Amino acid sequence: MNKLDWQHCLCHRFGSLGLFGSSSSGEEPKRRRPRDSESHERPWKKRKRRQLPHPTPCRAAYRWFRLDWMASGGGIARARLAEERKAWRKNHPHGFVAKPETLLDGSVNLMVWRCIIPGKEGTDWEGGYFPLTMQFTEDYPTNAPSCKFPSGFFHINVYDSGAVCLSILSTAWKPSITVRQILIGIQELFDDPNPNSAAQNISFELYTKNKEEYRKRVRQQAKKYPSAL
């Protein structure tokens, strides 16, 4: 077999593999991928880089507000109080008021809440809308807030300074207790005081020895704090 016959035979047998140009069947030989060393451009490997959305002014401002908030001790206490405020605005008991203090510059101080507790209907406290200040600390809700009426508030379980003496604000405190539960608990305390934990001598003496005079003083106090509406 001469040289031309050998070339014809090899082309016939291996032409389909693309080693000797076109095959005998006339099909176009397959092209192999270039190696990395042969070409740095690999279009099948290129991926379109996803462009992140450019932050809007509102998003950017909120991000910096959050960073400044956390840096100034914002943390858990303010996050919890923000949720409390949202829940209260969505649903709260009739006649009650609870909202963070508004400062002179228009900003909101979540650590101090101005509240109003109405007296229950059918009791000597009815008709009164009693102002209360709730003061929170940075370790809230691990520790309970302090709750104060105006100084000299007449009640067995209220100190002369106005501080409320209530179990859920001290020994019975739990981090799960909400602002709503605190205010309702204080309202219940109005007409159902605890003489065993007296914080005020005058009201205690009247309650235990002259109940009628005690009730009279309560009604007088209710008239002192009428509804603001």
Amino acid sitting at position 164: V
Look at the chain and report how many structural domains it folds into: 1
Rounded distance between C-alpha atoms, residue 17 and residue 107, angstroms: 79
Q: Would you call 58 a catalytic residue per the annotation?
A: no
DSSP 8-state symbol, 16: G
pLDDT number for residue 75 = 84
CA distances, 47 to each of 38, 41, 50, 148, 161 (Å): 21, 12, 9, 64, 70
pLDDT at 22: 46
Residue 219 counted as domain residue: yes
Range of the domain at 167: 75-224
Alpha-carbon dihedral sign for residues 121, 126, 127, 133: negative
Answer yes or no: is 52 within a domain. no
**Residue 122 region by backbone torsions, left for phi larger than 0, else alpha for psi between -120 and 50, else beta:** left
Predicted local confidence at residue 21, as pLDDT: 47
Q: Is residue 54 part of a domain?
A: no
Residue 185 lies inside a defined structural domain of this protein: yes
Angle between helices 179-191 and 75-90 (to 10 degrees): 70
Among candidate residues 11, 115, 147, 165, the one labeled active-site is 165
Indicate yes or no: pTM above 0.75. no
Q: Could you read off the pLDDT tens digit of each residue along the chain, which spans 229 residues?
A: 554 454 555 555 545 444 444 444 555 555 665 555 544 555 555 565 655 555 555 554 545 445 454 444 458 999 999 999 999 999 999 999 999 999 999 999 999 999 999 999 999 999 999 999 999 999 999 999 999 999 999 999 999 999 999 999 999 999 999 999 999 999 999 999 999 999 999 999 999 999 999 999 999 999 999 986 5
- CA neighbor of 201 nearest in space, from 164, 158, 146: 158
In a domain, 48, yes or no: no
Residue 40 lies in a domain: no
Tokens of 103: 């400062």
Measure the CA–CA gap between 180 and 53, rounded to whole angstroms: 41
In a domain, 17, yes or no: no
Contact 45, 33 (CB under 8 A): no
Helix (H) or strand (E) holding 101: strand 97-102
pLDDT of residue 73: 47
Whether 35 is in a domain gets the answer no
Residue whose C-alpha is closest to residue 158's, from 137, 121, 186? 186
pLDDT of residue 187: 97
**114: number of CA atoms within 13 Å, CB side?**
6
Provide the greatest CA pair distance for the chain. Answer: 137
What's the CATH code of the domain at 178? 3.10.110.10
At residue 76, the pLDDT reads 93
CB 99 within 8 A of CB 114: yes
